[in-house]
Amino acid sequence: MLSYNLLSEQAFYQQNDRHNFWLATYFGILLGLGLYNLLLFFGLKERVFLYYSLFTLGFTIAILTFNGIGTLMFWSVLGENTSRLVAIGFIFASTMGTFFAQSFLKTKDFTPRWHRLLSYFRVYCLLALVATLLLPIQPALRLMDVTGFMAALTILICGIYCITQRVPSARIFVLAWSLFLVGACVFALRNLGILPANFITLHGIQIGSALEMLLLSFALAARFNKLKRQKERAQNEMLMTLKRQEAVLEQKVADRTKALEYLATRDMLTGLLNRKGLADCAAKAFQRSQQIGQPVALFMLDLDRFKPINDQYGHEAGDFVLQQVARRIEHLARAHDRCARFGGDEFILLIEGIDDITVLNDIRQRLNAAIRKPIRLPCGELVSVDVSIGMSVSQGDDDRLESLICEADGKMYDVKASRADCGIRYGSAQS
């Protein structure tokens, strides 16, 4: 049915301008939404945006041709084949609409059966698209009608079922698709003469499709924001993970540095201070001594009768004896005293906080007694060593560790010499 009115030239141009304005607005909306979602696809690599853009493209080509604007402005060279382009556009839109419904509703995850059904229908749409290129125009248009009706009905039922399964965004999908179908029905009823011809019924399919496209674009924008938030959340979680790993790594580095510093100042065999560790502790001890006005004492201990143990039982037994002697010296030392292995079978005990010099003799006697106690070797044999002890005490601000060691070492050899003069024979291990 065609409606007609007899218009003046001015009224005709005014009506034509209004008509072209709304059509331009409509196609501008479709073009803008299609390009926007195409850019989102390139940015996010989410196929749902690509399917929506292709669905919009196919529908736009079909409507442009159907209204005659596309034929008038773009593809007038097609002649009679412009009708075939309408069928191609609508069937292509049906195919991409099926793709879009599957991706938007995530049917593969939420409704696997419907996902398979839509996949089969997709195959049918592709075959129908090929058939449209080969069939005569009238059968191709009838195939377009059947395919479009089946696509609209199938996708609508799938969307309603997804609502019952509480699929995210299924409600807005069904609302958008329903508006499109309502617009198409209004347009069809107007063509059948059931509804009067007016702006709404004449452009029902455009109005319905525009509302559908806008609603689906809002839904896609919501999905874009969701993906953006998920990406930001993932980036924040990754950043927090990196920070935690960095903190763990820093702690490991600190622990490792501390361990290396500990090893650098410790004797590997006995665990006592080595010469470097002793020097560091002595420097601090001298500083505290000057502040509180109390002297620092140093004992130099050299084991006697140690070499025969090495010769008879082996170096492992000798190392065991050194370890036991180190434990005994460490056990007798006070909390703020420092024990060191000076080298070989020589040990040093650095003593701070001396209120009474006479207490040093008591410490010397206890060291003598403790070290001379028998030691049971891992093989079960009992051995014993003797010890010569030299002592030195700081006298002023100019005292240094080297001078204390030198003084204590001299007195220690005096002890050894006095024992030799008494007829006691000692064997001293070398450093």
Do 289 and 411 touch, CB atoms closer than 8 A? no
Q: How many CB atoms lie within 10 A of CB 290?
A: 14
Check residue 376 and report its DSSP letter.
E
Written as one string, the DSSP assignment of 304-327 is ES-HHHHHHH-HHHHHHHHHHHHH
Residue 200 is predicted with a pLDDT of 74
Question: What phi-psi label fits residue 347: left (phi over 0), alpha (psi between -120 and 50 degrees) or beta?
Answer: beta
CA dist., res. 346 & res. 416, Å (int): 13
Confidence (pLDDT) at 260? 80
| End-to-end Cα, the chain, rounded Å | 120
The H or E element that residue 178 is part of is: helix 170-191
Look up the pTM and report it: 0.53
| Cβ atoms within 10 Å of 370's Cβ, excluding its own | 15
- Separation CA 181–CA 214 (nearest Å): 15
Cα-based angle 84, 89, 92 (whole degrees, multiple of 5): 120
How many angstroms from the chain centroid is the CA of residue 127?
46
Instruction: Find the angle CA(403)-CA(409)-CA(411) to the nearest 5 degrees.
Output: 105
Q: Find where tokens 């099926």 sit.
A: 98
Neighbouring C-beta atoms of residue 55, cutoff 10 Å:
24
Place of tokens 């309603």: 160
Structure tokens at 342: 């000076």
DSSP 8-state assignment for residue 68: T
The pLDDT value given to residue 397: 57
Contact present, 143 and 135 (Cβ < 8 Å): yes
Give the span between the Cα atoms of 417 and 24, in whole angstroms.
118
Tokens representing 412 are 């220690």
Angle at 87 between CA 33 and CA 175, to 5 degrees: 45
Phi, psi angle pair for 127, to nearest 5°? -65, -40
Domain ranges of the chain: 9-236, 275-421
Q: Is 93 exposed, middle or buried (0-12, 13-18, 19+ CB in 10 A)?
A: buried
The answer to whether residues 40 and 220 touch, using CB atoms and an 8 Å cutoff, is: yes
Task: Supply the pLDDT for residue 425.
Answer: 43
Task: Tell me the three state secondary structure of residue 386.
Answer: strand
Q: Which helix (H) or strand (E) holds 76?
A: none
Q: What is the pLDDT of residue 36?
A: 79
pLDDT score for 408: 92
Structure tokens at 374: 């028998």
Phi/psi-derived region of residue 148, left when phi > 0, alpha when psi is between -120 and 50, beta in every other case: alpha
The packing angle between helices 137-164 and 112-134, to 10°, is 170
Burial 293-304 (b: 16+ CB within 10 A, else e): eebbbbbbbbbb
Nearest to 269 by CA among 338, 330, 320, 313: 320
State the 10-residue block means of pLDDT for the chain, 431 residues long: 69 77 78 82 83 87 78 73 85 91 89 93 93 90 86 90 87 84 73 70 73 78 75 86 89 84 85 91 88 88 90 91 93 88 92 83 92 91 92 75 90 84 46 35
Q: Are 185 and 207 spatial neighbours (Cβ–Cβ below 8 Å)? A: no
Coil, strand or helix: which one is 200?
helix
Are 103 and 122 a contacting pair, CB within 8 Å?
Answer: no
State both tokens at 375: 């030691």
Phi and psi at 388, nearest 5°, equal -110, 130
Q: What is the pLDDT of residue 427?
A: 41
pLDDT of residue 2: 53
CATH number of the structural domain 275-421: 3.30.70.270
Q: Which two tokens stand for residue 136?
A: 């005569």
